[in-house]
Amino acid sequence: AKFTLVDPDTCIACGACGAAAPDIFNYDDEGIAFSRLDNNQGSISVPIQLEDDLEDAYEGCPTESIKIAKQPFDGNPDKFL
């Protein structure tokens, strides 16, 4: 299983992730991305059919703000640093 969330402190609202993975990422009023799977908690595993989209978004983010791990983040983007 894979888990994901966005680090809102480094996201520059470039808009790439929502284009690559519209079922995973959405934007707040200021364009900052978040995971729509679980309100950016990174606690619900990404559906297997969305993993390719997730990988595309991960590779396309210019600020490395998309975090992916094999365990839940529990809302903390820095949990596995």
Residues forming contacts to ligand F3S in the complex (CB under 6 A) are 6, 11-17, 33, 60-63, 65-66
The residue (of 30 and 70) whose beta carbon lies closer to ligand F3S is 30
Minimum gap (Å) between residue 67 Cβ and ligand F3S? 10
Find the helix or strand (DSSP H, E) in which 19 lies.
helix 16-20
Minimum gap (Å) between residue 60 Cβ and ligand F3S? 6
CA–CA distance from 36 to each of 9, 62, 81 (Å)? 17, 20, 23
Minimum gap (Å) between residue 68 Cβ and ligand F3S? 12
